[in-house]
Amino acid sequence: MKPNENVLEIKNLVKDFPGVRAVNNVSFDIKRNTVHCLVGENGAGKSTLIKILTGVYERTSGQILLNGDEYNPHNPREAKQKGISTLFQELNVVDQLTVEENLTLGMEDTTFGFLRKTDKINRIVSVMNSIEPSIHPRSKVSTLSVAQKQIVEIAKAVAAESDIIIMDEPTAAISEGEIAHLFNIIRRLRENNVTVIYISHRLDEIFELGDYVTVLRDGGHIATKPVSEIQDRSELIKMMIGKTVFEQYTPPEEDCKDIILEVKNLSNHRLKGGINFDVRAGEIVGFYGLVGAGKTELARAIFGADPYEGEIIFKGKKLSPGPGKSIAAGIALVPEERRTQGLFTILTIRGNIPVMNLENISRNGFINATKERNVTIEYIKKLNIVTDSTEKEAAKLSGGNQQKVVLSKCLFANADLLMLDEPTRGIDVGAKSEIYSIIRQLSKQGKSIIIFSSELQEIMNICDSIYLMYDGTLRSTLRNSCDVDSEMILHIVTGGE
Amino acid sequence: METNQTKAKPLALSGKMSNETFITFLMIGVLLFLFAVAAVFVPNFYQPRNILNLVTNSWYIIILGIGVTFLLITGNFDLSVGGVIAMTGVLSVYFSQAANVSQNELANGLGLPYGVAVVLALICAMGIGAVNSFFVVRIKVPSIIVTLGTMMLARGIAQIVTQGAQRNTSLPDVFGVIGNVSIPGTPVKISVVIMILLVIVAFIFERMTVHGRRTYLIGANAESARLSGVNVNRHLTTLFILSSLLAGITGLLMASEFKAGISNRATGYEFDALVISLLGGVSIAGGFGSVLGMFVGALILSVVTSAATGLLLSPDWQFTLKAIAVFIAILSQGYFLSRRKG
């Protein structure tokens, strides 16, 4: 194997999902022993790219060279064997075992079935020691902090003699001091012949830590540059959002009417500092922030799905917490994860659509089958759900149609306030614009809508008021208009002052 | 393009039967097949008298099966039903036995009026259901563990009250009525009538009511159900108590039939109830199954066991035959369901 300046070369990489091209002809090189940052908005294609590199997804076309050789892993295990380890956001350590047992998991030597302490194990433990001597190999992983668990995972990757360690938002869940410590470890890794691919939404970290940065946007490759050649975060932000043309946002013809929802001093373990805002009848409100900003937590708290402190006043009355009570009061939520939180995938479309308002299709507790069917057909037609039967299992529908079923569910609940958490994530453009037009229609009927989204374009397209979130707090509020400064917005939601 | 196609084609409404209905019909087919085979080899198997027996002999498992099926549909187990039968039977006897009539401790009860004894015993049965639901709903312990515990708790109570044996003396005559009286002119016992009525009520509950629908929602996806406004905790609590109540009713009927409270009654019935539910196509993953399917499952089990007896196989073969029937049924369900998806 000849020594090569580039540890990884990605050439014309393409990944298609049904209806969406997630990675579009991406080519760039990663230089050996550098920290290479990957940035882009949500949906830019970062995680798809990572999943191809780690063998979770198969590419559609293109080529990847690892140390100059063709690299095409079919599963994460193969990727690891070939020298690419990944630190995912959900850590992959076994809490019940000790640090030492975690490090050697799957490579134990045995004699007659009994574990044997060998040189190999001693070596692995010494790797741990060299990286972080303060973590004792015999301590239980469950007693460690998140940051320490991350370090255990890093040690595991080093012990596996990885050339490349991918880190996906490693600082999302750890404190300032721990971040500084992690950065020191990353710098030491670089000195010891490890290349780090670093993904973060916190742009300041890229300037502090990165050697190179690659910007992705809408599945395409925008630029790969040495970090030193980038002037400041605003240049980076410009590359990330490009010349975004926001579709015709039209302000409502008449001013919104009465306040329907007042949120006062809301907080819980993920929402800090007390959140205050109002929503008026007929208003479309957007909460924008990147992954981990606390949008989903806020939506779930308002809906009563998670506990909170503070007060929520809806239609002049204090709302008592609980999804059932919220629905009864006139609030519905389209949850973030449609398959696990919104849909009943093993049930039919007919089994899904009426569930939030079974009272409407029943009398004295008995379901009126005709009414049930009619309601289902009504919504299939109204939302243009592509299906040949009301009896089709929800699991067999495409993402966009599944989302329309979830939306139908919430519309049938006849709520005055509809909350949508990432309403268009992972669905095709056609279904997207259909969902937007439904939202606008509802607002014209005087219903209030709150959209929680990590897609700026979505928020700018349809929302009247925009709230910016970062790290569980509300950072800023603005009215939508044609001259909203999207750079300023991205500056705020990436932690800038 | 796709949307134009759908506009052109009218929406099919009821062309395809649901998977539950499909499985039920499939199992009816299996039942008829097994019956035909048995009728060829076993003399007099086809006689109406025998067919009637096939239905009536498993009344107690079917009553248990109702509660067990509904809980399985929500994704939960109830292994306590056999224990509850023993406990309720023993307690109903203990409560009804005359007080202070004998030197023998097991002949002395509380001397309560029959009606009061019955109600108290059923309340105790529901108490077991309340314990089940408390641990499952509040403390989030998996139901299979909780009900394994209460299965032993309920039987333990039965053994303490009977000192590990049985109570069968100093009972009022009325105690033996309900378990032994038949419909005039037929050999069909009241217990069987109760079973049939309960199956009909359960069927209506399952197919036609809002609460029936919610039972499926919980099993299909408990989190989606909660976020759709279903009070999952209250619903599960009700079902656990209901299942124990059904087991309690069964226990009362069986105690009355024998005029005795026997501590090792109904051992293993919890598994028979589980087996007939599975035979009837109920999924242990939740969200799928039907009471009617469970009923057919019970008949299949009944045909298999009685055919074996008719063929003069030794009773030692019973469990093995049950096992074979279960494997065949489960495999055929999987096979036909996957063929259906296409």
Q: What number is the average pLDDT over the span A456-482? A: 87
Which positions in chain B touch A394 (Cβ < 8 Å)?
A: none
- Which residues neighbour A183 within 8 Å (Cβ) at sequence distance 6 or greater? A205, A208, A209
For chain B, domains (ranges, CATH) are 18-341 (1.10.3470)
Give strand ranges (E) for A289-423: 309-314, 317-318, 331-334, 362-363, 366-367, 417-421
Write out pLDDT tens, residues A10-29: 999 999 877 678 899 999 99
CA closest to A407 among chain B residues: B228
In SS3 terms, A244-297 reads as CCCCCCCCCCCCCCCEEEEEEEEECCCCCCCEEEEEECCCEEEEECCCCCCHHH
Contact A342 B287 (CB under 8 A): no
With cut-offs at 50, 70 and 90, classify the pLDDT of residue A251.
confident
- Min Cα–Cα distance to chain B from A18, Å: 14
The helix (H) or strand (E) run that includes residue B156 is helix B143-162
Asked if A403 and A431 touch (Cβ cutoff 8 Å), the reply is yes
Pairing of strands A284-288, A220-226: unpaired
Q: Read off the pLDDT of each residue in B54-68 and give the average, rounded to a whole number.
A: 94
Question: For residue B98, what are its two tokens?
Answer: 């005359």
Element (H, E) at A225: strand A220-226
User: CA-nearest residue of chain B to A373?
Assistant: B13
Position A244 scores a pLDDT of 54
Do the Cβ atoms of B224 and A391 come within 8 Å?
A: no
Q: How far is A411 from chain B (nearest CA, A)?
A: 12
Partners of B10 on chain A (C-beta within 8 Å) are none
In A4-127, the DSSP E strands lie at: 6-17, 20-31, 35-39, 61-66, 69-70, 84-87, 109-111, 114-116
Which residues in chain B touch residue A376, judged by CB atoms under 8 angstroms apart? none
pLDDT in tens, B166-219: 999 889 999 999 999 998 888 899 999 999 999 999 999 999 999 999 999 999
Output phi, psi for A284, to 5 deg: -110, 115
Domain A259-493, CATH class in plain words: alpha beta
Specify the domain boundaries for CATH 3.40.50.300 within chain A.
6-241, 259-493
Residues making up chain A, counted from first to last: 497
pLDDT value, residue B1: 37
CA A125, chain centre distance (Å): 34
The Cα–Cα gap between B183 and B31 comes to: 27
Q: Does A356 touch chain B (CB under 8 A)?
A: yes
- In contact, B60 and B270? CB cutoff 8 Å: no
* Cβ A235 vs Cβ A487: under 8 Å: no
pLDDT at res. A2: 45
How close is the nearest chain B Cα to the Cα of A89, in Å? 23
How far is it, in rounded angstroms, from Cα A238 to Cα A490? 9
Find all residues with CB under 8 Å of A345, minimum gap 6, and list them.
A339, A393, A394, A395, B220, B221
Q: What is the helix, strand, coil percentage profile of chain A, to 5?
A: 35, 25, 35
Helix/strand/coil percentages in chain B, nearest 5: 70, 0, 25
Q: Is the CB of A373 inside 8 Å of chain B's CB atoms?
A: yes
Check if the beta carbon of residue A176 is closer than 8 Å to that of residue A95.
Answer: no
pLDDT band at A300 (very low <50, low <70, confident <90, very high): very high
> Which among A299, A288, A390 has a CA at the least distance from the CA of A341?
A299
The answer to whether B259 faces chain A, any CB pair under 8 Å, is no
Q: Quick count: other Cβ atoms within 10 Å of Cβ A75?
A: 12
Of the CA atoms within 13 Å of residue A64, those in its CB half-sphere come to: 24
Residue A495 or residue B107, greater confidence: B107
- Selecting from A347, A359, A386 the residue whose C-beta is nearest the C-beta of B216 gives A347
Rounded to 10 degrees, what is the CA torsion of A308, A311, A314, A320?
Answer: 60
Confidence of residue B6 (pLDDT cuts 50, 70, 90): very low
Answer yes or no: are the C-beta atoms of A102 and A152 closer than 8 Å.
yes
State which amino acid sits at residue A432: K
**For a pLDDT cut of 70, what percent of chain B falls above it?**
94
CATH number of the A6-241 domain = 3.40.50.300
For residue B94, name the pLDDT band (cuts at 50, 70, 90): very high
